[in-house]
A and B are shown apart, each in its own frame.
Chain A
Amino acid sequence: MSKDPAMQLRGNVSYATVTQISGPLIFVSGIKGVGYDELVQVKAGNRHSMGRVLDVSKEVAVIEVFKGTTGLSLGETSVEFLGRGLEVGVSQDILGRVFDGIGAPADGKPEPFVKEKRDINGSPINPTAREYPSEFIETGISAIDGMDSLVRGQKLPIFSGAGLPHNALAAQIVRQAKLLNSSESFAVVFVAIGITHDEAMYFRKSFEESGALANTSMVLNLADSPPVERITAPRVGLTMAEYLAFEEAMHVLVVMTDMTNYCNALREISSSRGEIPARKGYPGYMYTDLASIYERAGKIIGKKGSITLLPILTMPNDDISHPIPDLTGYITEGQIVLDRGLYRKGIYPPVDIALSLSRLMKDGVGKGFTREDHMDLSNQLYASYARMKEVRSLEMVVGEEGLSEKDKMYLKFGEFFEQNFLNQRENQDRSIEQTLDLGWQALSVLPEDELTRVSKEEIKTYMKKS
């Protein structure tokens, strides 16, 4: 929200008429001229916090207090309405810096140079102004490059589970993504949402080692930071990313973790307001709310930069049908799903390819982008891997003796695929050719008649019998 002239005339008025406190919310009565979604300053003794108007009527305003309401009391709390929304200052100087969840510097250094102030909510991109993302990003990770390719401007989340190596995978993507090697300028925006200090440090170290730190802006809301600021942190990060991408022509990779903490903060606020939930206590507008974050990724016609979004979420109970991954999958352009079974087998990255998807892959791979056989090959690998899984479950019932010769070939294929294609080291950076060749090598275990998704010509050109 930009500064509203009427509000400026009104001046900033302070009220001491808090009548109710509930969870992170306070209710202020006797107000005049307060705007919906307006930013407020809440004071109680020497405690200060920002807040935001969630609902306003002639009599009462409902305010969400960012730092929470602990220590606030009815008599001693005063509220000042600021006549604007939450804004962050942006310029190139935000790179190399650390901020808290509402965009204030958190690295002990002074406020960076402010070229302009921007409301953290942004505005929706007109669909006619979008440029359809189609530039392949080589991550050097076969599971992604080969099967679920990432393109510039895509929003592709990692669906993980507690204890799975999602951080390692995200850090490896940031390190190896060939955004870094191209001549165009790049930036990383890292948004921590309710994660531990250790996790945040892990990312910081990884950016440092790859030399990306100077081009990274970190927005940190850690586990012990105020939960309400989990709602603002991703928006602060995206506002910075939008500036860098669309004003400074940079290719920005935004990593946000852990979106599950974001959704839980949303649920908490909703229930304090007494709203009727949809499923599992999450508010009915969670889809729209998440979309207002994820849809900020993309490319715009006539602008050089891009925002590629890599959110991480941990699926409660590894359940992909839980509202958090479910609603995310409905919004994002695919998902990389990590699997506990593969992890236990020692496979890194433990990507469950059956459940993973990149919706933008079809336009970013193939002739002129990666290699002409890429799409057919990946379709074939999917189909064969799915068939292999059926054979594995059949084997559980009938034992190995009960399997046909063909079935056994599928098992061999599955072994090779998991151990040699999916599996790689955390610092291993495979070229797309290496990835595709490995895929063909896996297929070479199977009889040619089984390969109906690839053409005869492709088999002839790319299959090297081993």
Chain B
Amino acid sequence: MRIYRVSGSVVEAEDARGVEMHEIVLVGSEQLVGEVIRINEDHAFIQVYEDTYGLRPGENITPTGHPLSLELGPGLLGTIYDGVQRPLTVLNEKEGELIRRGVSASPLDRNKKWHFIPLLKTGQDIKGGEVLGTVPETDIISHRVLIAPDTKGKLSWVADEGEYALEEAVAKINGEKPIYMYHTWPVREPRPYAQRLEADQPLITGQRVIDALFPMAKGGSAIIPGGFGTGKTVVQHQLAKWADADVVVYVGCGERGNEMTEVLRDFPKLKDPRSGKPLMMRTVLIANTSNMPVAAREASIYTGITIAEYFRDMGYSVALMADSTSRWAEALREISGRLEEMPGEEGYPPYLASRLAEFYERAGRVKTLSGSEGSVTVVGAVSPMGGDFSEPVTQNSLRFVQVFWGLDKDLADRRHFPSINWITSYSQYIHMVENWWVNNVAKDWPALVKETFRLLQAENELESLVRLVGIDALPEDQKLMLLIARMIREGFLQQNAFNDIDTYSSPKKQYLLLKAMIDFYNSSKEVIEKKIPEAKIEDLPIIGEINRARFTYSDEAQLEDLVKRAASAPKSILGEID
């Protein structure tokens, strides 16, 4: 097989008979890694994961016989990889600060010793997906050593508890096949599971507008579209920091280098609110930034989701953030253009929708092959051109996800963050996760949420009227609704990611904040019914206190006290008047 043509990241090969679709090949004298993405008679089209400058027609291409695969085993957590699982820290140590091509490094450290504790015994029949043993990979995550899904047989030997490196076998099947603490799996093939389960557990994110109004479920999928600067990345970072998933996979797909640097700087220092350990211990990072090769960007989200599925198969809840799926779609478009395929809308290939479907279908809560429960939650950022949601990536994604967090340019311009638009966004999980709140937080949670939606909706409808006639023309009860809606916006929906207290709200805090506002509303209503003007209510100093509570109070007792005072404050006006 030889190079016939080079165009950008795509190489066309001649004499390519026998090469397989999605096979990895090594291109040219520097053996650049590429993947076969189309075969046409004896020509093969290869997307190359490294820069192609200097490649010449006539140079050799070597087939490898393998599809693009990952190494899955202890050592993934806390590591940062590029889109095709090259360990970036190792590359930096080996080659310096610039990413050069033709450099390879093993994704998992082969020599590091891990403490292996066997769970299965010699003589047992095993099948794919079973847990052979465990390795305490980090202080938070115990790595369950899985039998590769496509392997089965009788265990003829299992290693004793002890320290082993990845290159040492820890078991044997049928007297011959060695089993290691890691196995490989092709990225484009979803890992198998036993059964799909309903997504009825909330993924608590500590972000109020999300948890209260547009909740995510473990195993669910969401998109977060928004123009530049509307807050996609900050929301994704917040989810990666605070979501109550066991493992987080963060894919920086075609975005800024510094945003990955920021994660690398912050996560080792930030503490997981549940375990108190550094967040990095539960995190895997994939960074294929905008200036890194485009074909590897295309692969990066598959790399991310395969790692997520792998931890799911251990029985963990995993959350995957992809920032941004639009850059992935653009990579697809660029490669499709080089292949001179018939373009669909805005130049995207016609198979964009099916690729998106395949990706989001890999989210889900499942019973694993070994019988435990695991989930992969997927949140994809979308960067629509000109902030226009009618474009193909947003529209096609919407067909396959259950949650839509639409970011709003006007809100962002007013520095209302997160700028999730509460009128257009939705979550199909809202009723499914309600039980969790009722059982774990408060019985009246659903009622509070319902009232919150009602007030925000009312405000939205009244707004145009106010613009025409001015607020003074409204009846007192409607003025009050507007006041409370504004409090909800200021004091609940807005959340400053960079304020130490505000950045994360426990479910209880979320409940108490809403409760303070709605109780305040209800008792104000009673006061107004006694013909007291709404302006009197507006003058109450407790309003400022409630609005600031999100970043002044972290203590539940303070908040409980605030709730009490919020309910009684309006009545004090009656006292004055009597």
Q: What residues of chain A have their CB less than 8 Å away from a CB belonging to chain B?
A: 1, 4, 6-7, 32-38, 54-58, 85, 121-133, 275-279, 284-285, 287-288, 291-292, 295-296, 298, 300-301, 303, 321-323, 326-327, 329-331, 333-335, 354-355, 357, 359-360, 362, 375, 379, 382-383, 386-387, 394, 397-398, 402, 404, 449, 452, 455
Contacts and interface: CB of A to CB of B under 8 A. Distances in A.
Interface residues on B, range: 35 or more
Interface in B192-244: 227-229
- The prevalent SS among residues of B at the interface is mixed
B470 A58 contact: no
Contact of B290 (A34, A129, A131, A291): A291
Contacts of B256: 295, 331, 333
Given A284-B334, A284-B337, A288-B334, A57 B57 contact: yes
Given A284-B337, A322-B386, 10 more contacts: A36-B53, A56-B5, A58-B4, A127-B261, A130-B257, A130-B261, A287-B330, A331-B290, A335-B229, A357-B229
B413 A132 contact: no
Contacts of A126: 88, 91-92, 97-99
A323 B80 CA distance: 32
B395 to A, nearest CB: 15
Nearest to B294: A288
B54 A276 contact: no
A330 B70 CA distance: 30
B383 A295 contact: no
B347 interface: yes
Contacts of A329: 227-229
Nearest to B7: A55
B292 interface: yes
Contacts of A37: 52-54
Contact of A397 (B57, B258, B467, B543): B467
A58 B334 CA distance: 22
Contact of A129 (B97, B262, B543): B97
A129 B541 CA distance: 50
Contact of B415 (A327, A335, A383): A383
Contacts of A402: 470
A124 B98 CA distance: 6
A334 B333 contact: no
Contact of A35 (B56, B254, B472): B56
Nearest to A274: B340
Given A56-B6, A123-B100, A402-B470, A298 B55 contact: no
Contacts of A129: 92, 96-98
Nearest to A290: B290
Interface string B242-268: 000000000010101110111011000
A210 B287 CA distance: 41
A131 B24 CA distance: 34
B365 to A, nearest CB: 32
Interface in B88-108: 88-89, 91-92, 96-100
Interface in B466-496: 467-468, 470-472, 490-491, 496
A235 to B, nearest CB: 12
7 contacts: A7-B54, A56-B7, A57-B6, A125-B257, A275-B337, A276-B337, A452-B547
B229 A55 contact: no
Contact of A1 (B54, B252, B337): B54
A34 B3 CA distance: 12
B415 A123 contact: no
Given A36-B6, A56-B57, A123 B99 contact: yes
B40 interface: no
Given A123-B99, A129-B92, A355 B413 contact: yes
B39 to A, nearest CB: 18
A142 B447 CA distance: 47
Nearest to B469: A398
B505 interface: no
Nearest to A399: B470
Contact of A382 (B56, B330, B414): B414
B13 to A, nearest CB: 11
Contacts of B53: 1, 35-38, 85, 121
The 3 closest A-B pairs by CB, nearest first: A291-B290, A57-B5, A129-B97
Contacts of B343: 276
B393 to A, nearest CB: 12
B291 A124 contact: yes
Interface string B543-557: 110011000100000
B167 interface: no
Contacts of A33: 56-58
B258 A132 contact: yes
A128 B92 contact: yes
Nearest to A278: B347
B427 interface: no
